[in-house]
Structure 1
Amino acid sequence: MSSFIDKSHPRIAIVGSGAVGCYYGGRLAQGGKEVHFLMRSDFAHVKQHGLKISSPLGGFDLPQVSCHRSTEDIGPCDLVIIAMKATTNETLLSLLPPLLKDKTVILTLQNGLGSDDFLARHFGSAHVLGGLCFVCINRVAPGVIHHLAQGQISLGEHSGPPQVRTEVLAAEFRRCGIDCKVEPSLITARWKKLVWNVPFNGLSIAAGGKDTAQILANPVLEQRVRALMREIIETAGHLGHEIPLSLIDDMIERTRTMAGYKPSSLIDFLAGSEVELDAIWGEPVQRAHAAGIAMPQVEKLHEELKARIAAR
């Protein structure tokens, strides 16, 4: 499994060309990589006008973009980056096969827990890597991406420690202007990201459409953020994934620098789109229950979210 080591000019497919897919795929294309975007709603606009990325790290335009309506049009690739919502993972069973060959690497940048396992189950663990995106980013119009802050990707192997290919892929990302590091344990890194995603994505909806600044400006909500974070860290520790409690203060202080950022789940909720309920809130609770661990804070938030969505 060494396609990225073997290829000087790998073919890359982006499956899920929303904010995340267009931003990271755009950075790779800007860096000279051959990138093919699977696009649906934005296809005609991007085909004619390309992509426009604004960013504090330096904005750029891609006037010519290789965008496609189907994965059959793209054909076999060396790297497939999945940036679509985890709510539509079943569609990957038909979308991915035209993109795959013997040594294709599948990298999922999806939120929450479970996507890596889903891909490994259907396409083989040896093909699967996971990435966690720590980024504030929005799609503000067709083909227009607004990158507000951060942007690091943390990479890990689905099964086992990092391999040579993991380091090579991280180096290629860095060469294209993407801050990237390799994680010794992908599952621990995923629980670490839940420490932010569960409270801020969840409370932004449950508290009535509040952005991160509004959440932290409310002492009651900030205390709830801290309680949720602690519960996730303690649960992860019981499951063998050690995360320091100092991460709570660190994440909250970093979130204060985001100003009024609307988390992706709030944007989905307001747009009437499906929210990643299972991947971000349901799956952690299920895994905890399977180990005999209660997560009352996360369970309560999960129920509030289901009620909010049902009443939408």
Structure 2
Amino acid sequence: MNLDHPRIAIIGSGAVGCYYGGRLAQHGHEVHFLMRSDYEHVKQHGLQIRSLHGDFSLPQVLCRRSTAEIGPCDLVIIAMKATANEALLSLLPPLLKEDTMILTLQNGLGSDDFLARHFGSERVLGGLCFVCINRISPGVIHHIAQGQISLGEHSGAPQPRTHDLAAEFQRCGIQCRVEPSLIAARWKKLVWNIPFNGLSIAAGGKDTAAILADPILEKRVRDLMREIIATAGRLGHEIPLSLIDDMIERTRTMSAYKPSSLIDFLAGSEVELDAIWGEPMRRAAAAGIAMPEVKRLHEELKARIAAR
């Protein structure tokens, strides 16, 4: 990939796609945003990013209605919900040339494998976004806390391009680290995503501060985290138990943050039930490992969603 003057496409121009794509555009990159609902607003008014690292705006944004309009790119960044992955089968081909890299910033497990299966493992990288971020109105993104991307290769160990891409993200004001194992990093993120995204819905629409203010819910968070760490370890992905206290203390600094799954649930949108809760349980079951705490939460979520 040409990192000097790359053409970049953002597929999924919600909070995550607009924030990271906006950072890249802010630092001079040619970034094309595939947009649907916000297209007219952003075309006329641009993007506004309100960030703890300093606000900025992009008055002129390359927003597009179709990937055919964007054309071949050097880097495609996928930030859409994993629930819509089948749409990528028609969205991605117009963007691809021989050496195009596909970077998925999606949650949960399975998206990397889906992309590798259909477009080639050698193209695919995964990024885990540790960020508190919301789209608060058309074209307006609120970056509340954190922001690091952990970057890894689907095909195995990091390559020179992995480090080059991480360095370019760093140059553009995006904290980025290279992970030796993408799948291990994904399990590490599930340690936060499974309990907080899940309990925010199952407990009746609670933000992270409300969850941690309830001793019973905090205990469930810790029980879920221990189960996920134990499962990951048995699958060969060692995660230290000290991560539990570290994640909980960092979550306390987020104040009253609504996880993305809660926002989807309240908006009537599809929740990433399979990628975040279902697929980890399937992989555990295939290895003969039970996850009773996660299964209980998964059942509660299915009931809440069915009753919505």
Q: TM-score, normalised by structure 1?
A: 0.98
Q: Are 1:216 and 2:199 an aligned pair? A: no
Partner residue in 2 for 1:261:
257
Q: Are 1:197 and 2:193 an aligned pair? A: yes
Partner residue in 2 for 1:252:
248
Written as runs of structure 1 = structure 2, the 5 A alignment for 1:88-103 is: 88-103=84-99
Match of 2:123 among 123, 127, 141: 127
Match of 2:134 among 135, 138, 145: 138
Partner residue in 2 for 1:184:
180
Written as runs of structure 1 = structure 2, the 5 A alignment for 1:61-80 is: 61-80=57-76
Q: TM-score, normalised by structure 2?
A: 1.00
Q: Are 1:293 and 2:292 an aligned pair? A: no
- Which amino acid counterpart does residue 180 of structure 2 have in structure 1? P
- Which amino acid counterpart does residue 242 of structure 1 have in structure 2? E
Q: Are 1:22 and 2:35 an aligned pair? A: no
Structure 2: distance between partners of 1:90 and 1:188 = 25
Task: Identify unmatched segments of 5+ residues in structure 2.
Answer: none
Q: Are 1:236 and 2:239 an aligned pair? A: no
Match of 2:53 among 36, 53, 57: 57
Structure 1: distance between partners of 2:123 and 2:142 = 31
Aligned length: 308
Aligned partner of residue 87 in structure 1, secondary structure: helix
Match of 2:147 among 151, 159, 162: 151
Aligned partner of residue 64 in structure 1, secondary structure: coil
- Which amino acid counterpart does residue 202 of structure 1 have in structure 2? G
- Which amino acid counterpart does residue 55 of structure 1 have in structure 2? S
Partner residue in 2 for 1:273:
269
After TM superposition, give the deviation of residue 159 of structure 1 in Å: 1.3
After TM superposition, give the deviation of residue 15 of structure 1 in Å: 0.2
Structure 2: distance between partners of 1:283 and 1:8 = 38
Structure 1: distance between partners of 2:24 and 2:294 = 36
Aligned partner of residue 107 in structure 2, secondary structure: coil
Identity %, equivalent residues = 83
Query: Over aligned residue pairs, what C-alpha RMSD do you find?
Result: 0.4
Structure 1: distance between partners of 2:64 and 2:11 = 10
Task: Identify unmatched segments of 5+ residues in structure 1.
Answer: none
Partner residue in 1 for 2:27:
31
After TM superposition, give the deviation of residue 8 of structure 1 in Å: 1.6
After TM superposition, give the deviation of residue 18 of structure 1 in Å: 0.1
Aligned partner of residue 222 in structure 1, secondary structure: helix
Structure 1: distance between partners of 2:54 and 2:130 = 18
